[in-house]
Structure 1
């Protein structure tokens, strides 16, 4: 991963919150929406003339009927675009009004605490929104105007979202603590709940019993299996005994079944060996196939689903729009590169070395193995949609325009330290959700709210 392709979790979250602001959805609803947002003409669905008035006062600051109407229309349009259902409009209006009240209270508290958003941060967030809508900043501003939205209002809404985000970070960082004991308990619970968490490599010797065998034959074969068991317990070599006696499919491999989750082993084998240490012997065990002798070659705790990760290996070419080349020209140029690569006229690596404006250029655009969350969302979303060997069309991100080739994916084998780091992040996120709700309720309850006339849409 490279200097220009990375983006911190905080900046990703700020861009995401800001994007939701334009969609008309506040922080509480953010979790339910996807980050691909198209600007909608909210004003087009509104009545041509509506008398505006105050519907609520939050510490003497007004929330107007116009505020509620615009937010409701945007939420409805966003839900329609995503195919989501909403509550009846009367109920939705109440939810939106309460949301606006909470937002006013939060922004006011941010001001009281001296939290500010500088112009550089505001510009960065605006650029992030433009990139996620596949525009540059100037195109984005023109679109805002063309959609009948007030650019100053949009910018102020964005500033308020950033203020709330910064204040939330300050409050939640002080409230949320994850101890080593919390992590231990989390991992224990996940391991207990995961049926695939344990993995074993069993040595197996099968003494097959033919169908229709007589009782005498069965006793003879059982005695043979018992002899193999005794020899193993006396220190006999599993591989040698398996090759000599076993009629199982793994006999040629010295009887080793290979490391696999317990869910992929016969229940008979699991029940007999689950409490045995490494090197332990079980058997003879009777099944319809015959008599089985087992030895635990290796046993380990497998990856817990929440604590493992799919890593991606990809290449990319980055072009940065500027004075010499605008975004459309960069897109067209990368589309040409793509055709050259697909037609066998050039290699991805050579074009990356010659043209990419990223630190990975000298490696032919190789980004190495990366885990989820290490790239900006618009880049990662496009990369995740590819199958190994596929190449994307030009992708616009806040850093420029990319051509992406996905090479391969793998399930990462995480160390104990890495698993604990992921567990810590998961726990912090879980505790943060609870703390955010508690803190938001506290701010709302401290605010003096006076409701006036009900909103009319």
Structure 2
């Protein structure tokens, strides 16, 4: 069995941000960033060209523990915020109001970066390079093409790397000060489940139903109705006996969705006929209702999946992957680990070695003896940076060397499958939801505390 204490398993939770570069402090200030994208300007898919605003003399707008924040910093960040808000559409605040919000965001981040320095948290060049590779991959560019595009748009690569370094520092200090301290108890999980079940309303219920319809023609005789009801009952009996529902639908159903296995897909209960909801809302996943009669005919309904409020569904996509993990230390830097794994990747791609053999010989992980096999994993089981890279791979594909809080990884996805969660797995997913909520609350408290202990002196107002 894989030693989950040494694999990149989550704790388990979605990190507060949806990607490595999502600025949670910006969201707390009301500046929404796009999940999965770097908090940097974009135009042609990489980054936006510099503003055409006429250059003016720079000046200090605020001091954070004697460290200055300049007007040009605010203006650059303001341009990014305006572009991201423009991409999302909808109303936006007045520019001077947004400028003040941006200033507050910078002040909060500056105080958090100063705490990272006090704690001795650092980010080396290998981690910054990995982040740069991620930006290139998100834009479907090679690293060289990314740099050429940035240069063509007048964006300094050193400024990009400095922004990446700062965002990685913010992520690491938040992980150390917040993420690692949050604990979820069994009582927390029970309370969450009771809370969601207490909200047992049609508005919060979602259902994925399998459907068989036996149509009763208008004006059908009583004998014909009985024959059609018997046909619907036969379909229900087959479904209850465990027969493949898609085959039952194809054999018995007159409904249009018969060709897609008779399954509607996950829908809010208020988008389904009231008859269907009333017949299935008290059933468990896998149970069958019917035949039930409507003006159209007789219906047989199978509960393929259901969830209430914030509860996770039971149908998920699982991934089986392998990885090679190199842990960084005084003898092995991140840069050296990245280079070594890049060499392994080339050996595997050229057929000089197999992934399994290199994992057994080199991986510093409990999965090494299984050739790096991590087994079937549910969504959210691994730390976000690992999960994001793994999710972007098709079966048979390998990642570039990936830096995580555990070290540096090489990942290969073996296969994927649809599966139904056990009650234990569903409970673990609830644990992740509760943890995410608690991290969100703890992050807000921590950020307020860091800001409250910082000395902030406002100078001149920013001029956007």
TM-score of the two chains, using structure 2 as the length reference: 0.58
* Cα distance in 1 for residues equivalent to 2:408 and 2:321: 17
Q: Does 1:426 align with 2:427?
A: no
The Cα offsets for residues 228-247 of structure 1, whole Å up to 9 and x where unpaired, read as: 9xxxxxxxxxxxxxxxx648
The Cα offsets for residues 232-280 of structure 1, whole Å up to 9 and x where unpaired, read as: xxxxxxxxxxxxx648774994885859799689976776687799999
* Cα distance in 2 for residues equivalent to 1:82 and 1:72: 15
Distance change (3 Å), C-alpha of 1:338 and 1:55: same
Deviation of the 1:407 alpha carbon = 0.9
CA contact (8 A) 1:43 1:148 kept: no
Deviation of the 1:55 alpha carbon = 2.3
SS of residue matched to 1:98: helix
The Cα offsets for residues 125-144 of structure 1, whole Å up to 9 and x where unpaired, read as: 87654433349xxxxxxx9x
How do 1:56-455 residues align onto structure 2 when only pairs under 5 Å count? Answer: 56=62, 61=66, 63-65=68-70, 68-74=71-77, 76=79, 84=87, 90-103=96-109, 117-119=118-120, 121-123=121-123, 128-134=127-133, 147=157, 178=188, 180-189=190-199, 192-193=202-203, 195-197=205-207, 218-221=221-224, 246=231, 250=235, 253=238, 256=241, 285=293, 302-303=306-307, 306-308=311-313, 309-317=316-324, 322=332, 327-328=338-339, 330-340=341-351, 348-350=355-357, 352-353=359-360, 358-387=365-394, 389-398=395-404, 399-415=407-423, 417-427=424-434, 429-430=436-437, 433=440, 437=444, 451-455=458-462
CA contact (8 A) 1:107 1:164 kept: no
Which residue number corresponds to residue 234 of structure 1?
none
The Cα offsets for residues 364-409 of structure 1, whole Å up to 9 and x where unpaired, read as: 331101223333434322321233x331353433433514123113
Distance change (3 Å), C-alpha of 1:198 and 1:429: same
**Which consecutive unaligned segments of at least 5 residues does structure 1 have?**
136-142, 229-244
What CA RMSD, in Å, does the superposition of the two structures yield over aligned residues?
6.2
Distance change (3 Å), C-alpha of 1:17 and 1:163: farther
SS of residue matched to 1:392: coil
The Cα offsets for residues 62-91 of structure 1, whole Å up to 9 and x where unpaired, read as: 6442xx422542563587699846867544
SS of residue matched to 1:122: coil
SS of residue matched to 1:394: coil
**Which consecutive unaligned segments of at least 5 residues does structure 2 have?**
42-46, 135-146, 148-155, 246-261, 266-271
Distance change (3 Å), C-alpha of 1:408 and 1:190: farther
Deviation of the 1:148 alpha carbon = 5.2
Could you say which structure has the greater relative contact order, defined with CA pairs below 8 angstroms and 6 or more residues apart? 2
Distance change (3 Å), C-alpha of 1:332 and 1:453: same
Which residue number corresponds to residue 251 of structure 2?
none
CA contact (8 A) 1:134 1:397 kept: no
Deviation of the 1:6 alpha carbon = 0.8
Deviation of the 1:11 alpha carbon = 11
The Cα offsets for residues 34-76 of structure 1, whole Å up to 9 and x where unpaired, read as: 4554989999879999755442356x746442xx422542563
SS of residue matched to 2:375: strand
* Cα distance in 2 for residues equivalent to 1:372 and 1:197: 20
Which residue number corresponds to residue 8 of structure 2?
6
Deviation of the 1:452 alpha carbon = 2.8
Deviation of the 1:93 alpha carbon = 2.6
CA contact (8 A) 1:200 1:262 kept: yes
CA contact (8 A) 2:400 2:410 kept: yes
Deviation of the 1:184 alpha carbon = 0.5
The Cα offsets for residues 17-45 of structure 1, whole Å up to 9 and x where unpaired, read as: 99568x99686478624455498999987
CA contact (8 A) 1:318 1:358 kept: yes
If you compute each CA radius of gyration, which structure gives the higher value, 1 or 2? 1
Instruction: Say which is worse superposed, 152-161 or 98-107, in terms of deviation.
Output: 152-161
Distance change (3 Å), C-alpha of 1:256 and 1:271: farther
Which structure shows the bigger proportion of residues in helix conformation? 1
TM-score of the two chains, using structure 1 as the length reference: 0.58
Deviation of the 1:413 alpha carbon = 1.1
